[in-house]
């Protein structure tokens, strides 16, 4: 057994991804709903800084089960 191919990358159920997003928005961190491991946060490039408001996408990755969730975390950041 060697590296898992890309196609086996697991995803969360929509309800799980929403729970991760809600936890992140509320506390700035999230844990995996499946194995309760603290999730790693990765920034997703794609917008330029300095353009003012832009959608901010967050990528939360579980180091244990390797599932990941991508969501828009920009809610409530405007003044």
Stretch that binds Zn ion, among 12-20, 21-29, 44-52, 60-68 (CB under 5 A): 60-68
Least Å distance between CB 20 and Zn ion?
A: 10
Least Å distance between CB 38 and Zn ion?
A: 10
State the alpha helices, DSSP H only, in the chain: 14-27
17 contacts Zn ion (rule: CB under 5 A): no
Own/partner contacts of 55-62, CB < 8 Å, gap of 24 or more, are: 58/21, 58/24, 60/20, 60/24, 60/30, 62/32, 62/34, 62/35, 62/37
Q: Which of 42, 55, 64, 75 binds Zn ion (CB under 5 A)?
A: 64
């Amino acid at each position: 057994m060697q590296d898992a191919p890309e196609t086996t990358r697991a995803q969360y159920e929509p309800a799980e991804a929403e729970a991760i997003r809600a936890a992140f928005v509320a506390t700035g961190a999230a844990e995996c709903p499946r194995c309760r491991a603290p999730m790693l946060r990765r920034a997703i490039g794609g917008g330029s800084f300095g353009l003012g408001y832009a959608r901010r996408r967050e990528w939360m990755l579980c180091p244990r089960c390797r599932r990941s969730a991508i969501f828009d975390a920009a809610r409530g950041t405007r003044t």
